Amino acid sequence: MPDATILGIESSCDETGAAVVRSGQQILSNVVASQIATHQPYGGVVPELASREHLRAIIPVVRQALAEAQQTYESVDAIAVTQGPGLAGSLLVGISFAKALAFALEKPLIAVNHLEGHIHAVLLEQRQAGNSELEFPVLALVVSGGHTHLYLARAEGNSWTHENVGHTRDDAAGEAFDKVAKLLGLGYPGGPIIDRLAPHGDSAAVKFQTSQIKHRDRRDHGRPGAVSDQPRFDFSYSGIKTAVLRYVETHQLGPAIEARRQALSEIEKPMLDDYLHLCGRETLDLVASFQRSMVEDLVTKTLAAAREYDVETLFVSGGVAANQELRATFAREAEMQGLPVFFPSRSLSTDNAAMIAAAAFPKFLAQEFVPMNFSAEAGMALGGSRSS
Ligand code: KG4
Ligand code: ZN
């Protein structure tokens, strides 16, 4: 198999990333410029500000990635960039820059689906660790701020096929973490904060109902005469967010939340002790119970899908895959089912460009290059779908 050194560029949301990866299996550099400080005062990503920050960061980030990898613009074999899904304005910054580089350097340009990138984050690190024995099919849960998607992933020669067998009907899991944290005056992004606070509360204190959405997809998926009767495993997280809101109202937590929001806004870089000091027992219990419900729902549905589709391997990737309780619960429960489960390292769970450069390698081998007039696809889907 020929070698290829690929420069990857990622700018789909609020991280500007550039990375150099050799042949989908060796990270030479992986640089991420986070915009958390920019969006924090607004409690969420502001698309216009995100585009502006990407414009500021893209050149230094790419230069740093090349320098750390001891590469030059000329020495890389191809440029890979996230095409979607994501924020249109943010995607365009990365895409325009990648196009300009590819054009000026006369290098091939590869467009990568961000979700495929998250799946390849796992493969990249497994290969880097020397594990080339992964068994297929793989069920991949991509769980992030924008997505809660289940894919059946199969390798066919150099190319990959992905089939969607479940997705969220409303909020993504990361979005629920972020909204609940915002609601409780804990700041943005909510996932990492809730992750650190949850072990300090009683996860059995508040009972939340999560939705049961398992159904059969009875559409004809284009196969002559075929009517699909495949089960789907969908998620829904807007209900739990509303339940937390109702709890806050019925337990009159409003004034304490406002005081905490104010106090945290006055601390430049709040530490865990600051949060703990500003959260009463009731709030810690609420946070712990919320996280436990989210984790149980994600794990239960994913493992049910794994059984139904009789997969050999499980991947869990995307920002929420950094969550410690989610990792521990998946590891424990999947082991009980005899199912190997793989996560990316925590830094490769959240958005980065190494996963984009890695996902581009099979496309490089297949010479799947894009023309200079390709465009961002904000709502880009991945693979075939068994969606309803
Ligand atoms: O993959 P990612 O960096 O960006 C998207 O593609 O969305 O995921 C970001 C999301 C945010 O919602 C963030 O709150 C969540 O991942 N997240 C976490 C953790 N770290 C990041 N959620 C739970 N626990 C964490 N440790
Ligand atoms: Zn992502």
Angstrom distance (rounded) from CA 67 to CA 76: 12
Output the CA torsion 351→352→354→358 (10° steps).
30
- The binding-site residues of ligand 1, defined as CB within 6 angstroms of any ligand atom, are 13, 144-146, 174, 177-178, 189-192, 195, 318-320, 322-323, 350-351
Ligand 1 nearest-atom number relative to CA 144: 8
pLDDT the model gives residue 216: 64
Secondary structure class of 349 (helix, strand, coil)? helix
The closest ligand to the CA of 319 turns out to be: 1
Ligand 1 nearest-atom number relative to CA 114: 6
Q: What is the pLDDT of residues 77-125, one digit of tens each?
A: 999 999 999 999 999 999 999 999 999 999 999 999 999 999 999 999 9
pLDDT the model gives residue 218: 53
Residue of the nearest CA to atom 10 in ligand 1? 145
Angstrom distance (rounded) from CA 55 to CA 366: 31
Nearest to 350 by CA among 15, 6, 7: 15
Structure tokens at 198: 């949850």
pLDDT the model gives residue 285: 98
Confidence class for position 384, pLDDT limits 50, 70, 90: low
Q: What is the pLDDT of residues 300-341, one digit of tens each?
A: 999 999 999 999 999 999 999 999 999 999 999 999 999 999
Mutate to test the pocket of ligand 1, among 116, 197, 237, 320 (most ligand atoms within 8 A of CB): 320
Residue with tokens 């699909």: 228
Sign of the CA dihedral with 196 first, then 199, 203, and 206 last: negative
Sign of the CA dihedral with 182 first, then 177, 149, and 91 last: positive
What contacts 386, CB < 8 A, 6 or more positions away?
Answer: 163, 164, 165, 217, 221, 228, 230, 232
pLDDT the model gives residue 209: 82
Minimum mean pLDDT among 1-5, 26-30, 145-149, 257-261: which range? Answer: 1-5
Residue, of 360 and 229, whose pLDDT is higher: 360
- Residue 12 CA to ligand 2 center (angstroms) comes to 8
User: What is the reported pTM?
Assistant: 0.93
Q: What average pLDDT does range 257-266 have in this prediction? A: 95
Confidence class for position 386, pLDDT limits 50, 70, 90: very low
Cis before residue 189, ω within 30 degrees of 0?
A: yes
The closest ligand to the CA of 13 turns out to be: 1
Angstrom distance (rounded) from CA 50 to CA 52: 5
In the chain, the domains with their CATH numbers are: 5-119+349-387 (3.30.420.40), 136-339 (3.30.420.40)
- Residue 322 CA to ligand 1 center (angstroms) comes to 7
- Residue 95 CA to ligand 1 center (angstroms) comes to 23
H-helix segments, 266-350 = 272-278, 281-308, 324-336, 346-349
Q: What average pLDDT does range 283-297 have in this prediction? A: 98
The closest ligand to the CA of 43 turns out to be: 1
pLDDT the model gives residue 155: 84
Which residues does residue 349 pair with via DSSP β-bridges, in sequence order? Answer: none
pLDDT the model gives residue 228: 59
The closest ligand to the CA of 45 turns out to be: 1
- Residue 126 CA to ligand 2 center (angstroms) comes to 19
Q: What is the pLDDT of residues 200-255, one digit of tens each?
A: 999 999 999 877 666 666 554 544 444 456 788 999 999 999 999 999 999 999 99
Output the CA torsion 48→53→58→60 (10° steps).
170
